């Protein structure tokens, strides 16, 4: 499995990926799922991959040479000369389709679906930052102010904290912290997501980043976050009062509790009719 | 979708279910997913159901008349005369198989799988409390001290808080609170899980319960829990310091960040080789 998350903020972009892959629970390996494409001062792009590892590795390889023809000029568009992130995302989609043509039938013969999902974001000089989620067919959607983040892989455990915290106004380092909490919850709940983590924080319009780090179990910040999040969640839980049951009692229809308002009340017990 | 959770503690049992069903996102309905079977002083049992509603309703219906033959005496065992929860669970499994014989082929003809999952727990006079998860084929597993709870339906969003809080020593009302927090996180993240909720709290060896309540959006305890959990989670998040980046800089191999220990450091940017 895999968990990757990318967040688009007014202040910049945050990318985080785990590095665990598994071919069955008895075959766990470590593969990085983040690639940074940078031409300082011109473009900064990050690709996160989930799904079939052979497909995502082939896509990354082919992406280096993939060209789309510009309909007017006829010249080739690559991720390195594309004038917009939209064009770069189309080059990526085209690379996925190239791998599909080459591998999909053979995979299908082995009952393996063509399964890959990617997040691709960054900034090219002359336009704003953009963040895309790219699907197996090579089509993609773009993040908006209403939905400023994308997840791929095991997304559910880590989603609630993103929904509670992330808005376009969230500061960069706070969003990085939120992504790490989201990853921590996922790692706690899914064995097939694991350290080390790759984290990139990109500041808007910088067209480069040196906030790039690999985080393993010895990283003191991640250790602190992991421990205090767990402890403090527990404190919050304890600080909420337990339900109070009063002694009000009501006859209720068979088979289901009556709908009660006001405080949590003891009410009569629904029963199946005895045969 | 559905979310149900049941917890087995030394002090008793907690059962919680939502009541939303959907046949496609354009067809949302409210159906209760909890049934209480009670013969005060003799047995108290609760059944939670998820999956295909027509199957679970048929199972509940047939369960009223289903009999297993006692191999020695040849007399019929029902959930109302079974001498152990294990036997009662076998009667339930047998009811599922009866529905399978009746409906599975017709469902398969329409490309609908025979999909039902159930949680069944309680206590019969003469033995301790027991909690089972029952699968579509009618087989089942039992909760243990190491795994004192079962979830069915949309289980992921609500799992982390259960893992952090629940042990066999957890007090009943605290476990009820934990189940409600788990439900609240699930409802927040999955539109197809919704109020009203059915909650039952059973005290060990009481062989009855009048702590049975239906919780809707007007329930002040649930409102309090919903609001304070959200606010306090946010406070905890804010109380954890943001990552600190220092200015250490290291040359690193192409394509991936170097593994760094110590604090979160700025390190050189991994780059794809330019073509």
DSSP A227-270: HHHHHHHHHHHHHSPPP--B-------TTSPPEE-SS-B--PPP
Q: For residue B258, give the chain A residue with the closest CA.
A: A214
| B189 vs A160, A262, A265: nearest CB | A160
Q: Is A11 domain-assigned?
A: yes
Residue A247 lies in a domain: no
- Tell me the pTM: 0.84
Please check whether residue A158 lies inside any domain of the structure.
yes
In a domain? residue B239:
no
Domain count for chain A, please give it.
Answer: 1
Q: For residue B260, is it within any domain? A: no
Token duo for residue A79: 């991720």
Instruction: Tell me the residue range of the domain where A67 lies.
Output: 3-233
Q: How high is the ipTM of this complex? A: 0.79
**Do the domain assignments include residue A265?**
no
Task: State the Rg of chain B over Cα.
Answer: 24
> What is the rounded distance in angstroms from the CA atom of residue B108 to the CA atom of residue B179?
35
Q: What is the CATH number of the domain that holds A187?
A: 3.60.20.10
Rounded distance, CA B166 to CA B8, Å?
A: 9
Q: Does A218 touch chain B (CB under 8 A)?
A: yes
What is the C-alpha separation between B249 and B235, in angstroms, rounded?
A: 34
Beta-carbon separation of B274 and A174 below 8 A:
no
Q: Which two tokens stand for residue B254?
A: 């192409």
Q: Are B242 and A174 in contact (CB under 8 A)?
A: yes
What letter would DSSP give residue B265?
Answer: B
Interface test with B, best of A30, A214, A266 (most B CBs within 10 A): A214
Is A271 a domain residue?
Answer: no
The answer as to whether B253 is a domain residue is: no
* Cα–Cα distances in angstroms (integers) from residue B157 to residues A251, B32, B151, B185, in the given order: 35, 21, 11, 6
Which string of b and e fits A56-90 if b means at least 16 CB within 10 Å? bebbbebbeebebeeeeeeeebbbbbbeebebbbb
Written as tens digits, the pLDDT of chain A (275 aa) is 899 999 999 999 999 999 888 777 777 788 889 999 999 999 999 999 999 999 999 999 999 888 898 888 888 999 999 999 999 999 999 999 999 999 999 999 999 999 999 999 999 999 999 999 999 999 999 999 999 999 999 999 999 899 989 999 999 999 999 999 999 999 988 888 888 999 999 999 999 998 888 898 888 899 999 999 989 999 999 999 988 786 544 333 223 333 333 234 343 444 443 43
């Amino acid at each position: 499995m895999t968990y990757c998350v990318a967040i688009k903020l007014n202040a910049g972009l945050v990318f985080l990926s785990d590095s665990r892959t598994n071919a069955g629970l008895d075959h766990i390996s470590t593969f990085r799922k983040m690639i940074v494409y940078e031409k300082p001062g011109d473009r900064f792009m990050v690709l996160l991959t989930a799904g079939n590892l052979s497909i995502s590795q082939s896509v990354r390889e082919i992406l280096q040479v993939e060209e789309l023809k510009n309909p007017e000029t006829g010249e080739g568009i690559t991720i390195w000369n594309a004038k917009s992130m939209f064009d770069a995302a189309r080059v990526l989609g085209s690379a996925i389709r190239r791998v599909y043509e080459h591998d999909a039938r053979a995979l299908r013969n082995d009952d393996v679906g063509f399964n890959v999902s990617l997040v691709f974001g960054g900034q090219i000089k002359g336009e704003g930052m953009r963040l895309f989620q790219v699907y197996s067919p090579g089509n993609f959607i773009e993040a908006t102010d209403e939905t400023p983040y994308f997840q791929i892989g095991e997304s559910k455990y880590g989603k609630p904290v993103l929904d509670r915290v992330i808005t376009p106004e969230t500061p960069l380092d706070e969003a990085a912290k939120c992504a790490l909490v989201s990853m921590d919850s996922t790692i706690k709940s899914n064995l097939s997501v694991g350290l080390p983590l790759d984290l990139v924080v990109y500041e808007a319009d910088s067209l480069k980043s040196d906030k790039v780090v690999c985080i393993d179990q010895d990283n003191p910040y991640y250790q602190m976050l992991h421990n205090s999040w767990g402890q403090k969640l527990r404190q919050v839980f304890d600080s909420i009062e337990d339900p109070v049951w009063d002694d009000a009692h009501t006859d209720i229809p068979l088979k289901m509790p009556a709908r009660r308002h006001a405080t949590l009340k003891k009410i009569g017990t629904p029963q199946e009719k005895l045969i």
